[in-house]
Amino acid sequence: MATEIDKWKREFLEYMEIERGASLKTVANYDRYLTRFFAFGKISSPKGITEDAVREFRLALNRAPGVKVRGQAQSTLKKNTQNYHLIGLRRFLKYLMKRGVTSLSPDRIELAKVGARHLDLMSDAELTRLLKAPDGSGLKDLRDRALLELFFSTGLRLSELCSLNRDLDMSKDEFSIRGKGEKVRVVFLSQMSKSAIKAYLTKRVDMDEPLFMQVSRNKTGGGRLTPRSIERIVKQYATKAGISRKVTPHILRHSFATDLLSNGADIRSVQMMLGHANIATTQVYTHVTDKQLKEVHKKFHSKR
């Protein structure tokens, strides 16, 4: 039997999807986090969300076993994972406040402190080897070279790259992409990526809409590449390039950002190109600018 809290949760999820433009995956995650909290606290109405209920839930999250990695469970849930639950709850409470519903103030929920994020980046030499790894002239090699060059040129998210269609205007150095929260931003094409895409499209003989498609026996027709397929492609060429560390599409996005910063781009511009809603997300890359500051200090300070 549906309770009052179930009604408000359903309306909140619909609000996030329709009015806030959240992705279906984000909506599903919020649904899971809230359902877990309501079940744990036996909460049936907004008034049942109290500081005590939240504190007990946080203790349970902190003591819960983590997911299995290579067959072995982590000791506890990661702090980031715990925070995702709290962020979902805080969003829900903000929605209730907006609707004039009495409940716990969202300001009463403080996120757990997490350690500084470590980026496992490729070196310049590794990146160069990766981009050159698809070295054949067949359709698959041309597709994969275009895919890797486009990743590094634009800093696109994996889902954004998967969504691209072949009608990109190659006469321009830029195109618009609809990212998280249905926000549109402009990304830019390097000459290398434009050349790689043109070579790939010239080789294709089909008229299908997707830019990156499955290839079988040097022919397309297997449908649009999935995120999992692209992850496998990146991993395959990382191995071929002799890169021992884990390489993912997201690491290429990191490489895009750090390349810009290390060559003098300001962090606000990088934020816009990555499509980050909050500059705090972009500031994970400031280790690059920190290194530059060290060089400036070394070069100009204390010349006595």
What amino acid positions are annotated as catalytic residues? 157, 180, 250, 253, 276, 285
Closest C-alpha to 201, from 217, 186, 220: 220
> Count of H helices and E strands in the chain?
13, 6
Q: What share of the chain is helix, strand, coil (3-state, %, to 5)?
A: 60, 10, 35
| Cα separation, 61 vs 40, whole angstroms | 10
DSSP 227: H
Query: Could you give the CA distance from residue 249 to residue 268 in angstroms, rounded to a whole number?
Result: 23
DSSP E strands, 19-99? 68-69, 72-73
Which residues are 184's β-sheet partners?
A: 178
